[in-house]
Amino acid sequence: MRFLTLLQLRTTLASVFAILTIAVTICGCESAENPLTAVHGKVTLDGQPITNGQITFHPIGGDSNRPAIGRINQNGEYVMSTYAAGDGVLSGEYLVLIDTSTDGPTIEDPKRREKWLAPKHYADANTSKLRISIPSDRQGEVTQDFDLKK
């Protein structure tokens, strides 16, 4: 009988958590005071497209904006997303991180080494010098290319 009670409690808590998560997501989405700006571009290394990776915009300073993330495709192109795929970025100042790591350790091969398509310092918040400013006037979209150097 006690097992049944714990199972019911676990199910109830999971349901409450799911409902709260949905409510926070809906309420936390884009507002009229701070709409999103479409941001896209291309990531290259010494002029050649990066063929895989992730680009992240992290808010700088006291800015309470949410981070935005974009997937780098095989042509080096990315489109930024904050709440939903391709929806854009909130206005503000951002630190840009570009993670191009591939492979790495697995359960089957824990000694397997990571490979980086671009220097690792671009993926580290302490060493990346890349920044972007998304304007608050939001006229049109922002195209921002990043040409990384070895």
Domain identity same for 60 and 21:
no
Owning domain of residue 6: 1-30
Give residue 83's identity as a one-letter amino acid code: Y
What pLDDT, in 10s, does the model give residues 45-70? 999 999 999 999 999 976 668 999 99
| pTM above threshold 0.75 | no
* Confidence grade of residue 138 (pLDDT, cut at 50, 70, 90): low
Instruction: Based on the fold, state whether residues 100 and 49 are members of the same structural domain.
Output: yes
Q: The tokens of 117 are what?
A: 């398509």
CATH number of the domain at 101, please: 2.60.40
Question: How many structural domains compose the chain?
Answer: 2
**H-state helical runs in the chain:** 2-27
What does the pLDDT look like over 86-106, one tens digit per residue?
999 999 999 999 999 988 888
| 19, 57: one domain | no
With cut-offs at 50, 70 and 90, classify the pLDDT of residue 19.
Answer: low
Helices vs strands, H then E, count in the chain: 1, 11
Clarify whether residues 6 and 25 are in a common domain.
Answer: yes
